[in-house]
Amino acid sequence: MAARIIAITGASGSGKTYLTNGLFEFLQSRDINLAIIREDSYYRDQSHLPMRQRFGVNYDHPDSLEHEMLVEHLRKLKSGQAVEVPEYDYAVHNRKQQTSNVSSDQLILVEGILLLSNPLLREQFDATVFVDTPLDVCFSRRLARDTVERGRTEESVVDQFETTVKPMFHKFIEPNKCHAKLLISGEKKRSAMLAELLGPLESLISEFPSASGSLSVGSTFPEAQS
């Protein structure tokens, strides 16, 4: 069976990862076979660069990503072939030695900020979701995440947001929002986001039979930010 592919995108801090993880957990609990591919995994190999130069790379620009490999992998998955997805190490700003095998007989969720910026990528998606969140909310979330989870200083997070994140959002992300088939507010609770998402995606998801029946979202779905 060939893969079907759902893209979930939006600004950094919009809630796209939060929604992607929630959708994955929900569908997995219904015994639907699926996998997540992160756009971040396709940051270019930088083994040839010293660490100091890696810190200077604009990771919010499409050129920092090997989109050509991602396009090739999605094409292979849609033609029934398995792929080896790179793994990325944020600590050293480079790819790891190991890869992850992703088979084609499943629903694939692709998550990342620049998925709609590349026309060849857009051609691979069976559905596209844009998590629409005010940029000031995105900044607050990113500041909390990067200082707590990634050990960064508040000053470095603010500087990166102002010098690369915000300008690249206005240049590459916001203008391509028009290519998304579905807009979801990133300020809602996850259960509300999922309830809004599952209806339009039902016919696509139904191609992967569930052993656990209903796709309705119950009130007990976990809301914790992931």
pLDDT of residue 226: 38
Q: What distance lies between CA 149 and its chain's CA centroid?
A: 18
Tokens read off for 163 = 């010098």
Compute the Cα dihedral for 118, 120, 123, 125 and give only its sign: negative
Tell me which long-range contacts 86-92 makes (C-beta under 8 A, separation of at least 24). Answer: 86/41, 86/42, 87/41, 88/38, 88/40, 88/41, 88/42, 88/43, 90/150, 92/51, 92/54
At position 217, the amino acid (one-letter code) is V
Query: Residue 186: is its pLDDT beyond 50?
Result: yes
CATH number belonging to the domain at 4-206, selected among 2.40.50.140, 3.40.50.300, 3.90.320.10, 3.40.430.10: 3.40.50.300
Cα separation values, 115 from 45, 75, 172, 203, 211, Å? 19, 15, 10, 23, 31
Summarize the confidence of residues 22-40 as an average pLDDT. Answer: 95
Cα separation values, 123 from 5, 116, 128, Å? 10, 10, 10
Tokens read off for 88 = 């990325």
Judge whether 14 and 179 are in contact, CB under 8 Å.
Answer: no
Pair type for strands 83-89 and 94-102: antiparallel
**Window from 107-116, 152-161, 182-191 with minimum mean pLDDT:** 152-161
Distance in angstroms (rounded) separating the CA atoms of residues 14 and 11: 5
Higher pLDDT pick, 144 / 226: 144
The structural domains of the chain, with segments of one domain joined by +, span 4-206
pLDDT of residue 220: 44
Percent of the chain whose predicted confidence (pLDDT) is above 90 = 81
8 contacts: CB under 8 Å, gap ≥ 6: 16, 19, 20, 23, 109, 110, 111, 129, 131
Summarize the confidence of residues 5-23 as an average pLDDT. Answer: 97
pLDDT of residue 133: 98
Read off the pLDDT of residues 37-82 as tens digits, 9 standing for 90 and up: 999 999 999 999 999 999 889 999 999 999 999 999 999 999 999 9
**Window from 67-81, 100-114, 203-217 with minimum mean pLDDT:** 203-217
Query: Residue 219: is its pLDDT beyond 80?
Result: no
Summarize the confidence of residues 86-92 as an average pLDDT. Answer: 91
Read off the pLDDT of residues 117-130 as tens digits, 9 standing for 90 and up: 999 999 999 999 99
Query: Residue 218: is its pLDDT beyond 70?
Result: no
Q: Which of 5, 37, 180, 43 is nearest to 101 (CA)?
A: 37
183 contacts: CB under 8 Å, gap ≥ 6: 129, 130, 132, 177
